[in-house]
C-alpha cells in the first residue's frame, strides 16, 4: 500500500524556514554587537552575514509573491529586523573606534 500525504508541505516549510532563520539571524546579529564593541571587526561582520542572507532572501520571496499576484507583506515584516540589526552592527564594527 502506498502512503499518500494529505497536504503539500512546500509552501509552509519555506515560510517556517525563513521565519525561524530570520529570528535566529536577528539574535545572532544582536550577539555580534559584543565583538563589535570590543573592536573585533572580523567576528562582528562574520556574525552578521546570516542576517543579511535571511533578509535578502525574504525580500526576494516578497518580490516573487508580488510578481505572481498574491502580494504578501508578511515577508517584508520578516525581512526588516535582520537587515536593520545586521546593518547597524556592521556599521558599528566598521566605524573607527575612539580610544
Q: How confident is the model over 77-96, as a mean pLDDT?
A: 89
What gap in Å lies between CA 25 and CA 56, rounded to an integer?
12
76: confidence class by pLDDT, cuts 50, 70, 90? confident
Is residue 75 within 8 A of residue 19, CB to CB? The reply is no
Domain that holds residue 34: 17-94
Quote the number of domains for the chain: 1
Q: Is residue 82 one of the residues assigned to a domain?
A: yes
Q: Determine, yes or no, domain membership for 65.
A: yes
Domain membership flag for residue 35: yes
Distance CA 59, CA 38 (A): 32
In a domain, 2, yes or no: no
6-55 confidence digits (pLDDT tens): 666 667 788 888 899 999 999 999 999 999 888 888 999 999 999 999 99
Q: Rounded mean pLDDT of 56-78?
A: 84
Amino acid at each position: 500500500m502506498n502512503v499518500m500525504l494529505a497536504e503539500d508541505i512546500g509552501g509552509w516549510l519555506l515560510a517556517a524556514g525563513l521565519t525561524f532563520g530570520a529570528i535566529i539571524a536577528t539574535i545572532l546579529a544582536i550577539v555580534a554587537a559584543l565583538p563589535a564593541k570590543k573592536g573585533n571587526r572580523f567576528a562582528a561582520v562574520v556574525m552578521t552575514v546570516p542576517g543579511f542572507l535571511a533578509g535578502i532572501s525574504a525580500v526576494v520571496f516578497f518580490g516573487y509573491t508580488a510578481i505572481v499576484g498574491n502580494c504578501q507583506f508578511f515577508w517584508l515584516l520578516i525581512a526588516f529586523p535582520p537587515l536593520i540589526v545586521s546593518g547597524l552592527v556592521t556599521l558599528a564594527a566598521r566605524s573607527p573606534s575612539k580610544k
